[in-house]
Chain A
Amino acid sequence: MTLLSRFVPHMVVLCLALLLPVAVFADDWRPIDPADMALKSPVVEKDADAEAIIWEVRVADGMEGAIPQTVFSHYVRIKIFTERGRESQSKIDIPYLSNWSIRDIAARTIKPDGTVAEIRKEDILERVIEKDGGRKIKAKSFAMKGVEPGAIIEYRWKEIRKDRLANYIRLDFQRDVPTQTVKYYLKPLSLPGFTYGMRAQTFHANANPFVREKDGYYSTSMTNVPAFREEPRMPPHASIRPWMLVFYSEDRNLTPEQFWKTFGKEQFEKNKGRMKVNDEVKQAAAAAIGDATEPEQKIQRLFEFCRSKIKNVNDDASGMTSEEREKIKENKSPSDTLKRGMGTGYDIDMLFAALAIAAGFDARIVNLADRSDILFDKRFPDDYFIQTFDIAVKVGNEWRFYDPASTYVPYGMLRWQEESQEALLSDPKEPVWVTTPLSTPDKSKLKRTAKLRLSEDGTLEGDVSVEYHGHLGVEKKEWEDEESPAEREETLRKSVKARLSTAELAEIKIENVTDPIKPYTYKYQITVPGYAQRTGKRLFLQPSFFQYGVGPLFTTSTRRHEVYFNYPWSEEDEVTVELPEGFSLDNAESPAPFSAGAISEYKPSVSVTKDGRKLIYKRKFYFGGGGSILFPVQSYGQLKIYFDQLHKHDNHIITLKQGAVTAAN
């Protein structure tokens, strides 16, 4: 798979030589540019309802006595263009935690005629949003006065976060409104003996290079940043929004290669004790492997042992009560996990590694990123993103990847979030980057069959079976494993009625919901009055029963962001329809197959039994072949055409006529 990389390998280290007093805002507001007052339409996006002229944040780390703190000083100036802009920008909420403080709030509206309405102290309301025990979430709130289209609003405040520094904080360059200039000032902590340097790494941002400012600040900025808008099937936010990660690390002057080498060695040392093999582990491995002789077979048995015999206490569907969880003791070794028959996800993965080692395999921990958070790039030399892990086992000359702690993920697959990821294979000497495989479309299959009878009034009834395999099954199981049988039935009824509103379901069987191995399965009887449309002499039938009532995937003609599918998948349908007495096929033309190279293929077929009484519709579809799950925005038009064509063909209708007989094409 090729994931587009928008990462710019340029990290700035901010060092402070002098310790100077923290700069504060000037007492007065900054002068308003008459051109901004006169502005009649937005600069950045022509249809914007409001536009930030300035959005500036100063982030200063320092010490308050012996306590560290970060002071955020915010300054926002927004031009209002429409009533919608007024509605969305006039109410300001500043949430904060009880050990933080908000100070120096000031806000004002400059009306189009130049008059100014300033917020007074009594207009600022403090609310405790929530409190429990010693924790409080508070907010300071106020409403801007006299806001109208043409006005400029501006507000500023200071947020003091005690007991912490600006370490691993994400700073956005993009807001809910377009922004003419967004600027960050960063001031690192300077303390004798403090050997960590503040670093800033931008992502997907063409930010200006850092500039040294007065009072110990460094600044960077972006101009003309459009507003962020959600779109369906888009990559994770961290991979499309411009943002900056600010963190501290020791100035070891390591290249990415050097950093990862060191980190990979540390990981090996840190985890090797947790993979320790003793006699109990050896015995357990031998018992689990049993008569298996082939390496792959042995691994699979160890994997299934860990997945099905060791309870994952982190799993929300483990069935444990809160009291039982409170009593859980920490496992310190694989044999502890074996003895107790339960453990955390980490314990289970470590036990699996130990069992594999006991069986004579080389097994390691691999560290990798979560693809639902960010599309990782190893040129960023920090472990911030690679917080997930799996077990790599060498089978023959190949490293294979396993995660028995993810209960529902089939053998040979990883959670989709961990597939197709660069993973650091730990090693005492030479850690290396390997890539986890992306499962092919056939691994995540939706397999559906329906044996149906059509009445002459258009009612369709019969038996339906649906199986969810691979990632599709994992998602279904994770979603429903905590639900009651009645709730699962209701979920099914709702999903069927959402596309076939007149449908009635009976004899519902939902199987393998919590089974780690067998596919999640629905079986039910269905009756759908008015499924086929009757005219005077014809019946019109959509043979793709499972696609009836499903809307097109993409509906808008334009797109801002790349299109991202979480994983490849496939669908395989077989629908048999017994035709009503007195009717036969007038036209049983099959919709045409089509494909998009190796990425996708659609193969429908319509046939008729020899006696002409049964229509057999088969449909095969897959998407994401060749690892293609991320598409640039320029491809949206083609992608939309492809899925529109799919929708069109799925809505293909065949005609039944009283009397006439026609063979299928």
Chain B
Amino acid sequence: MTCFKLAKLSVAFFFLTVTSAVAAPAEQAPGWLQQAAAVSVPTYDKDTPAVVLRKEQAVTVASDGRITTVTTFAVRILTREGRAFAQAGELYLTQTGKVREMTAWLIRPNGFVKKYGKDQTVDRISNPNDIYDEYRVRVIDAIDDADEGVVFGYQSTSEERPLFNQDIWNFQNRLPTLVSRYTLTLPTGWMATGVVFNYKKLEPTVNGSVYTWELLGLDPIRPEPASPALRNLAPMVAINYFPAEVGSPKAFETWSQVSRWGAQMYDPLSAPDETVAAKARTLTANAKSELDKIRAIARFVQNLQYIAIDIGVGRGNGYKPRPPAQVLAKAYGDCKDKANLMRAMLKSIGINAYPVFIYLGDPTLVREEWPSPTQFNHCIIAINISEETKAPTVIQDAKLGRLLIFDATDPHTPVGDLPDEEQGSLALVVAGDSGSLLRMPTLPPDSSNLDRQTEIVLTSDGSITGNLKERSIGQTAVNERRAFRSLSNPDYKSMLENWVTRGATAAKVSKFLTNDDSESGKFDLDMEFSAPHYAQDMAGRLLVFKPAIVSRRESVFLTEPTRKHPVVLDSYAFTETVRVKLPGGFDVDELPDPVKIEVPFGSYKTSYEVKAGELLFTRSLAQKAGTIPADQYQSVRSFYQRVRAAEQAPVVLARK
């Protein structure tokens, strides 16, 4: 039995905080919540944790652009795990917004109502990892009070002076939703337009200056591995509102407008001062070509520490870089600071460049149909280059010419490569009137590859000693580099031992050597290891072992027999050659059949050959980035099941 220690000393100043629980009188839920709670709920799968009874936002715009938002939400908890949804949360920006009021209620199946007001409201920062972030969230947490069958609801009123006359309404999250409604009340003479995504056509009902978008009876969206992002599955509407006669610079109709808006913020801050120019000159002093100069500056900027300090976000500072001289002096910055510093440095040596707004995390998310800066969360750079400079990440733009795309924030991806999650994404090149939404380059699959050569000596007791050489390029090398750079030497060795041990019990890494050549996008790993009794001795007659020793596929990630949503695959490729010197006194009795699988989204191949006392095993996998429709799920699942089966197949040696 445990208990808490009581204050040992009774002197007055030994501070003891006591929170006394006071029983609240019985409360009554508001009419809207009682109505929502009275609605009969369809039958869902037993693992559906909760159903949203009502999800509504009523936004009222004042003629000075201020908005007041009333959020109304009700959810019925269906399972114990559904308790997590008995929570209210409203995000706001400290300088330009506030949550004026927030009240929640919980209705038990027996009709008992509990009310949550100011005393139960917690106000916290949105992202505790940032040094400073003005986004805050006000939360009412009723999780501990909730259980199966309860209805939880809340209503909040927020005020805000938004940066843009644009808004997005997500009709649902993953839960089934019975009623989802967005109502926009505009000043007289204003109008609104909406673009609907992930749903068939949906027009608002318009009553004077009140616009309402509504959807009813939305099915749950279950999480599935390798699924498209929820933002590409759940219906949503993107809205612009503005005075009908004159329009609004804060509601963008074209991407050029967004580009002009971005340029007026970035361009004045891209001028290099003497410290920036001097640094650029120093960095490029020995550079012979245009590409060398770009690389020298890129290397410096991407190695500056990433630190985000967002002050004045509500006034647009979340999009605005700091002056390059300041970033240089502090030796840290965020993505826009780094892109802008690099732009200024390049400018000082006569190379033109533009900031690029992009969404980092999923290259399929940005929608061309709705020009808005709010679609982006990251800033990279497009560098105007001459014909002299060749690189795989160059795109051609009719107005701007040849543009070399580079992410100055990613410390692991060199010039000439681009992070996976940015490749193929739509991104806005911010170049005033000439700016436009462009498709970022997609590098060919062979530009990101891992080649592994393993030489093994197998002894008659089944033990192995091995020598492994891995050569990675492109984004595969980036992953290796990230792991290597994030771990200390002993931790990296432990990580290698963990990796080898997963395939060969009791393996020991005796030596390893890395060559991290980020300039040319390569990462090499050489490793020596051993493992006792890797092959199993069968009564002294047979030796059985799996020739795929490391990174052997032991499991499949698509385990469910059916699927609703498409499968999203990343680009990935590896080849491996394993040479096993066989022990004397044994013959190969059985070899697995070679495998060759060709499917539209990839290929897999193995081969076995015995020659001069040596087994030569090869395997290769190529996976193409793409989205496979759900009706082809079985072929994807079967592909990986066959790959797993092939990698589990043993070789049998028989004593002569």
With a cutoff of 8 Å between Cβ atoms, the chain B residues found around residue A406 in the complex are 1
Q: How far is the CA of A90 from the CA of B309 in the complex (A)?
A: 13
A255 at the interface (CB under 8 A from B): no
Question: Could you tell me if B650 and A533 are in contact, using CB atoms closer than 8 angstroms?
Answer: yes
Look across to chain A and name the residue whose beta carbon is closest to the beta carbon of B46: A486
A388 at the interface (CB under 8 A from B): yes
Question: Could you tell me if A49 and B488 are in contact, using CB atoms closer than 8 angstroms?
Answer: yes
Question: Could you tell me if A91 and B307 are in contact, using CB atoms closer than 8 angstroms?
Answer: yes
B109 to nearest A CB, angstroms? Answer: 11
A35 at the interface (CB under 8 A from B): no
Question: Could you tell me if B542 and A587 are in contact, using CB atoms closer than 8 angstroms?
Answer: yes
**Interface digits, A316-359 against B, CB 8 Å rule (1 contact, 0 not)?**
00000111011100000000000000000110010000000000
**Interface digits, A401-419 against B, CB 8 Å rule (1 contact, 0 not)?**
0010110000000000000
B490 at the interface (CB under 8 A from A): yes
B655 at the interface (CB under 8 A from A): no
With A248-B9, A327-B23, A387-B2 already in contact, the answer to whether A147 and B556 are too (CB < 8 A) is no
Question: Could you tell me if B539 and A530 are in contact, using CB atoms closer than 8 angstroms?
Answer: no
Contact of A653 among B112, B128, B497, B536 (CB under 8 A): B536
Question: Could you tell me if A501 and B556 are in contact, using CB atoms closer than 8 angstroms?
Answer: yes
Q: How far is the CA of A165 from the CA of B9 in the complex (A)?
A: 11
With a cutoff of 8 Å between Cβ atoms, the chain A residues found around residue B332 in the complex are 90, 143, 145, 147
Within 8 A of A (CB), among B1-46: 1-5, 8-9, 11, 13-15, 21-23, 46
Q: How far is the CA of A249 from the CA of B11 in the complex (A)?
A: 12
Interface centre among A164, A486, A549, A641 (most CB of B within 10 A): A486
With A129-B128, A163-B15, A589-B538 already in contact, the answer to whether A555 and B121 are too (CB < 8 A) is no
A536 at the interface (CB under 8 A from B): yes
Q: How far is the CA of A483 from the CA of B21 in the complex (A)?
A: 26
Question: Could you tell me if B132 and A655 are in contact, using CB atoms closer than 8 angstroms?
Answer: no
Question: Could you tell me if A87 and B1 are in contact, using CB atoms closer than 8 angstroms?
Answer: no
Question: Could you tell me if B144 and A530 are in contact, using CB atoms closer than 8 angstroms?
Answer: no
Q: Which of B62-70, B450-458, B640-648 contacts A (4 or more CB under 8 A)?
A: B640-648
Q: Which of B205-213, B499-507, B520-528 contacts A (4 or more CB under 8 A)?
A: B499-507
Question: Could you tell me if A641 and B506 are in contact, using CB atoms closer than 8 angstroms?
Answer: yes
Question: Could you tell me if A141 and B131 are in contact, using CB atoms closer than 8 angstroms?
Answer: yes
Look across to chain B and name the residue whose beta carbon is closest to the beta carbon of A144: B332
Contact of B305 among A87, A249, A349 (CB under 8 A): A87
**Interface digits, B162-194 against A, CB 8 Å rule (1 contact, 0 not)?**
000000000000000000000000000000000
A657 to nearest B CB, angstroms? Answer: 10
Question: Could you tell me if B590 and A538 are in contact, using CB atoms closer than 8 angstroms?
Answer: yes
With A84-B486, A321-B108, A482-B80 already in contact, the answer to whether A655 and B542 are too (CB < 8 A) is yes
Question: Could you tell me if A346 and B131 are in contact, using CB atoms closer than 8 angstroms?
Answer: no
Question: Could you tell me if B505 and A587 are in contact, using CB atoms closer than 8 angstroms?
Answer: no
Q: How far is the CA of A180 from the CA of B189 in the complex (A)?
A: 71
A188 to nearest B CB, angstroms? Answer: 14
Within 8 A of B (CB), among A422-439: none
Within 8 A of B (CB), among A367-409: 370, 383-384, 387-390, 403, 405-406
A228 to nearest B CB, angstroms? Answer: 13
B144 to nearest A CB, angstroms? Answer: 7
B123 at the interface (CB under 8 A from A): yes
Contact of B330 among A145, A384, A648, A665 (CB under 8 A): A145
**Interface digits, A127-141 against B, CB 8 Å rule (1 contact, 0 not)?**
111111100000001
With A91-B307, A490-B47, A558-B490 already in contact, the answer to whether A587 and B123 are too (CB < 8 A) is no
With a cutoff of 8 Å between Cβ atoms, the chain B residues found around residue A125 in the complex are 131-132, 309
A614 to nearest B CB, angstroms? Answer: 20
Within 8 A of B (CB), among A583-598: 587, 589
With a cutoff of 8 Å between Cβ atoms, the chain B residues found around residue A552 in the complex are 501, 505-506
A48 at the interface (CB under 8 A from B): yes
Within 8 A of A (CB), among B74-111: 79-81, 108
Contact of B641 among A130, A132, A502, A652 (CB under 8 A): A502
With a cutoff of 8 Å between Cβ atoms, the chain A residues found around residue B9 in the complex are 167, 196, 248
Question: Could you tell me if A132 and B485 are in contact, using CB atoms closer than 8 angstroms?
Answer: no
A159 to nearest B CB, angstroms? Answer: 16
Look across to chain B and name the residue whose beta carbon is closest to the beta carbon of A151: B331
Q: How far is the CA of A246 from the CA of B506 in the complex (A)?
A: 44
B167 to nearest A CB, angstroms? Answer: 27
Contact of A147 among B23, B305, B487, B652 (CB under 8 A): B305
A280 at the interface (CB under 8 A from B): no
A602 at the interface (CB under 8 A from B): no
With a cutoff of 8 Å between Cβ atoms, the chain B residues found around residue A326 in the complex are 21-23
Contact of B649 among A93, A383, A533, A555 (CB under 8 A): A533
Question: Could you tell me if B81 and A486 are in contact, using CB atoms closer than 8 angstroms?
Answer: yes
With a cutoff of 8 Å between Cβ atoms, the chain A residues found around residue B497 in the complex are 555-557
A647 at the interface (CB under 8 A from B): yes
Contact of B559 among A325, A486, A501, A535 (CB under 8 A): A501
With A141-B132, A167-B14, A644-B505 already in contact, the answer to whether A653 and B544 are too (CB < 8 A) is yes
Within 8 A of B (CB), among A491-537: 497, 501-504, 529-530, 533, 535-537
**Interface digits, B280-299 against A, CB 8 Å rule (1 contact, 0 not)?**
00000000000000000000
With a cutoff of 8 Å between Cβ atoms, the chain B residues found around residue A537 in the complex are 590
Look across to chain B and name the residue whose beta carbon is closest to the beta carbon of A665: B539
Question: Could you tell me if A131 and B122 are in contact, using CB atoms closer than 8 angstroms?
Answer: yes
Look across to chain B and name the residue whose beta carbon is closest to the beta carbon of A501: B555
Interface centre among A194, A387, A651, A665 (most CB of B within 10 A): A387
Question: Could you tell me if A556 and B498 are in contact, using CB atoms closer than 8 angstroms?
Answer: yes
A47 at the interface (CB under 8 A from B): yes
Question: Could you tell me if A589 and B539 are in contact, using CB atoms closer than 8 angstroms?
Answer: yes
Question: Could you tell me if A323 and B23 are in contact, using CB atoms closer than 8 angstroms?
Answer: yes
Question: Could you tell me if A47 and B505 are in contact, using CB atoms closer than 8 angstroms?
Answer: no
Question: Could you tell me if B502 and A535 are in contact, using CB atoms closer than 8 angstroms?
Answer: no
Question: Could you tell me if A652 and B536 are in contact, using CB atoms closer than 8 angstroms?
Answer: yes
Q: How far is the CA of A390 from the CA of B2 in the complex (A)?
A: 9
**Interface digits, B123-140 against A, CB 8 Å rule (1 contact, 0 not)?**
111001001110000000
Question: Could you tell me if B329 and A130 are in contact, using CB atoms closer than 8 angstroms?
Answer: no
Question: Could you tell me if B590 and A131 are in contact, using CB atoms closer than 8 angstroms?
Answer: no
B508 at the interface (CB under 8 A from A): yes
Question: Could you tell me if A47 and B489 are in contact, using CB atoms closer than 8 angstroms?
Answer: yes
Question: Could you tell me if A387 and B536 are in contact, using CB atoms closer than 8 angstroms?
Answer: no
B158 at the interface (CB under 8 A from A): no
A50 to nearest B CB, angstroms? Answer: 10
Within 8 A of A (CB), among B504-520: 505-506, 508-509
B303 at the interface (CB under 8 A from A): yes
B632 at the interface (CB under 8 A from A): no
A466 to nearest B CB, angstroms? Answer: 20
B368 at the interface (CB under 8 A from A): no
Q: How far is the CA of A529 from the CA of B506 in the complex (A)?
A: 28
Q: How far is the CA of A365 from the CA of B147 in the complex (A)?
A: 37
Q: How far is the CA of A652 from the CA of B538 in the complex (A)?
A: 9
B83 to nearest A CB, angstroms? Answer: 9
With A47-B488, A555-B501 already in contact, the answer to whether A127 and B125 are too (CB < 8 A) is yes
With A557-B497, A644-B506 already in contact, the answer to whether A502 and B559 are too (CB < 8 A) is yes
B533 at the interface (CB under 8 A from A): yes
Look across to chain A and name the residue whose beta carbon is closest to the beta carbon of B48: A486
A148 at the interface (CB under 8 A from B): yes
A36 at the interface (CB under 8 A from B): no
A59 to nearest B CB, angstroms? Answer: 17
Within 8 A of A (CB), among B322-364: 329-332
Lowest 3 CB-CB distances: which A-B pairs, in order? A501-B555, A484-B80, A644-B506
Q: Write the residues of chain B forming the contact surface with A, with a CB cutoff of 8 angstroms.
A: 1-5, 8-9, 11, 13-15, 21-23, 46-47, 79-81, 108, 112, 114, 119-125, 128, 131-133, 144-145, 147-148, 303, 305, 307, 309, 329-332, 485-490, 494, 497-498, 501-502, 505-506, 508-509, 533, 536, 538-539, 541-542, 544, 554-557, 559, 561, 590-593, 641, 644-645, 648-650, 652
Q: Would you give 22 A-B contacts (Cβ < 8 Å), ordered by A?
A: A47-B488, A47-B490, A84-B488, A90-B305, A130-B122, A131-B123, A145-B331, A163-B15, A168-B8, A322-B144, A345-B2, A384-B5, A497-B555, A503-B559, A530-B641, A535-B591, A536-B593, A538-B652, A558-B494, A587-B538, A589-B538, A644-B505
